[in-house]
A and B are shown apart, each in its own frame.
Chain A
Amino acid sequence: MALIGGIESHASAAEKFNRDVDRVNWHDKALWNLRHKRDLAAESQPEWEDLKQLGSEYKLHTLANLKHYLTEFEANCKKNGIVVHWAKDGKEHNEIVHSILAKHNVKNLVKSKSMLTEECHLNPYLIERGIDVIDTDLGERIIQLNEQPPSHIVVPAIHLKKEEVGELFHRKIGSEKGASCPTYLTKQARAHLRQKFLEADAGLTGVNMAVASEGAVAIATNEGNADMGVNLPKVQIHCMGIDKIVPNMDAASVLSRTLARNATGQPITSYTTFYKGPKEGGEMHVVLVDNGRTKLFQDELLAEAYKCIRCGGCLNTCPVYRRSSGFSYNALIPGPIGIAVSAGDDETHSLAWACSLCGSCTQVCPTKVPLDKIIFKWRRIHSEQGKLPYGKNGYMPWVGKFMANETMLNLGMASARTALRILPDALMKPFGMDWTKHRELPKAPKTGSFEAWFKKNRENK
């Protein structure tokens, strides 16, 4: 999975974001708001837990039989007049897309949200070859104009304030200076993008589900940009990871019940569209991409990361994501699911530690991706390769020895308690290093060690 930017550890990037406390709190609240709406939607659905179980089982079944379903999907697509392409990596994906566009002499391409094309760096590839590529989802358009990657997989511009969007639109699309009303700004974007839709020679979208039994792709949006994009021009292209296959319409019905509820708390997105062939006189292409997926499928646990339906729920609930923002991850997909699919490529060996292992992500996931287990496994993999982050390699073995030696540990803890009691905080705080940067020191318990308390109060009772 692709990494972005230079190589900076999560902790160092997060530290920069954390300098602006107000922004951190604002970011945290915006995401928690989504999490809260998700809870209301889940609670109002008596069969929610059953849907999660079904979603998980459908995805596991598909992944275990992926070759079968890919074959079926391809054959059915052909019957429906859809051209199917295969790409082993991002480079080949880009070449395929470009060759289709070149054949039709496409100059203007409208795109709708696709994390896959971000993963393959399609936009710069096409722009270098003279194609005007326009992202049409409002959030994506904002970050495209701002020359940034997405900071969230569902709400890509969540890191920007409305005043910043207003300023950007003023500079780039000529909206009024100083305007920051979301309604006004959205209408400006509507007018600007409508022009782009009408001029487009081709439309490209990501895929939410590809239904094997039908030879159809399904795309879910709230804005309707995918449908405006592919229904006007002659050529439509849909790019998808091979993990997006589902066996049949029953499976699609299950996932369509949880996707939007878990993302934003809506019962369903405004548009859930199935394309089972090109429009009259048109052309429809589907590009199936591996780009590292089959590599993760080799491992039973890591493979489960691809049960993911990209609802973003695990980002919204993650205390680390909410307080460090998407850009601190040095990975295209941030948050828990981002760690799960990208930690193998992380040269800073810090990504797998951008997690408190609280397990909240695993709890909210609508397809039961065992995110905390996967993240923990990545830590083990890095550790076994001798690649622990920032000095952990040096001191962790000593910590291990210390903790394993009872006398040493008791002695150490006793002196820590005494020190906490008698020494001033200012002197003690530096020993806590990063931990005490934003925290007060604990009060030393009056009862002494836990063992002593246990002996006195619980043993033999």
Chain B
Amino acid sequence: MSSRDAIFAALDKCNLPDAPMPSITIEPNNEDLMGQYEANLTKVGGTLVRVKELSEVQAHLDKAMADGQSVVCRVEGLNGNRELDAKPHTLQDLDLALIDAEAAVAENGAVFVRETASGHRVLPYITENLAVVVKADTLVANMHEVVKNVKLESGQHGAFIAGPSKTADIEQALVIGAHGACSMTVYMLD
């Protein structure tokens, strides 16, 4: 018997009493979504910058580049100073990556990004600093709401990212910047 069959045969013997599939009846708290979002993003170590136009984001990129930083920009209409190579490993010395995010979640400060927005799956993690542009009208109250809006296609990778990489593995002391990005800026486009 294959192990698959053996596992299924063992499960057949279990007969746990059936329990119905629950349904979520929790009402989203839509009060002051932007205020909730900013508070939670701050809590998880990220920074919110509200912008009216994309050109304001370009001004930030320009400043970073003038400071000598290498910038990959994946947002249409904006420019960085570095293109993606075929091999993602060369991104290891990247200073800043800017990508599109599709949705933002008020209850935890997260944004949803997928690989089509980043070119290489590893981009949002390997860069020293991560920035995303997200439209304010994609902001929803909680995780139940956001999973209705973002659907992964077959073969895709998608991530909820809430703030920079962090750890508290040494005596519970919070340190920002473990393996992923050491800072995260969310440009919220009104």
Contact = CB atoms under 8 A, between A and B. Distances in A.
* Binding partners A and B: yes
Given A47-B26, A92-B3, A61 B19 contact: yes
A88 B11 CA distance: 12
B125 A86 contact: no
A270 B165 contact: yes
Contacts of A92: 3
A198 B89 contact: yes
Contacts of A171: none
A298 B14 contact: yes
A223 B20 CA distance: 36
Given A50-B26, A92-B3, A182 B175 contact: yes
A157 B172 CA distance: 10
Contacts of B170: 138, 142, 157, 160, 162, 165, 182, 185-186
A193 interface: yes
Contacts of B163: 270
B17 A257 contact: no
A138 B163 CA distance: 18
B155 A231 contact: no
A393 interface: no
A280 B15 CA distance: 41
A224 B155 contact: no
Contacts of A300: 16-17
B52 interface: no
B165 A224 contact: yes
Contacts of B49: none
A273 B162 contact: no
B66 interface: no
A290 interface: yes
A60 B157 CA distance: 28
B81 interface: no
Given A86-B3, A186-B175, A269-B162, A294 B10 contact: yes
Interface stretch (B57-65, B68-76, B177-185): B177-185
B172 A274 contact: no
Given A223-B166, A271-B160, A277-B154, A253 B143 contact: yes
B14 to A, nearest CB: 4
Nearest to A252: B147
Interface stretch (A260-268, A355-363, A426-434, A442-450): A260-268
Contacts of B4: 86
A137 B166 CA distance: 11
A182 B13 CA distance: 50
B106 to A, nearest CB: 10
Contacts of B105: 268
Contacts of B84: none
Nearest to B114: A274
Contact of A268 (B92, B121, B124, B162): B162
Interface in B135-190: 142-144, 146-147, 152-173, 175, 177-181
Contact of A197 (B17, B155, B162, B179): B179
Interface string A197-222: 11000000000000000111000001
Contacts of A257: 107-108, 142-143
Interface string A46-73: 1100110110011011011111001000
Contacts of A267: 40, 43-44, 107-109, 162
B152 A274 contact: yes
Contacts of B161: 270-271
A228 B125 contact: yes
Given A190-B177, A253-B147, A264-B168, A276 B154 contact: yes
A187 interface: yes
B165 A222 contact: yes
A228 B179 contact: yes
B167 A67 contact: no
Query: Which residue, of B6, B11, B18, B88, has the highest number of chain A Cβ atoms within 10 A?
Result: B11
B52 to A, nearest CB: 28
Query: Which residue, of A47, A232, A252, A288, has the highest number of chain B Cβ atoms within 10 A?
Result: A232
A194 B160 CA distance: 22
A272 B181 contact: no
A294 B158 contact: no
A187 B177 contact: yes
Contacts of B124: 227
Interface stretch (A242-250, A329-337, A364-372, A409-417): A242-250
A161 B171 contact: yes
A61 B44 contact: no
12 contacts: A46-B29, A54-B24, A86-B7, A182-B173, A215-B154, A224-B178, A231-B121, A247-B21, A253-B144, A254-B24, A277-B155, A297-B14
Q: Which 3 A-B pairs have the closest CB atoms?
A: A224-B180, A277-B155, A223-B178
Interface of B: 2-4, 6-8, 10-14, 16-22, 24, 26, 29, 40, 43-44, 88-89, 92, 105, 107-110, 115, 120-122, 124-126, 142-144, 146-147, 152-173, 175, 177-181
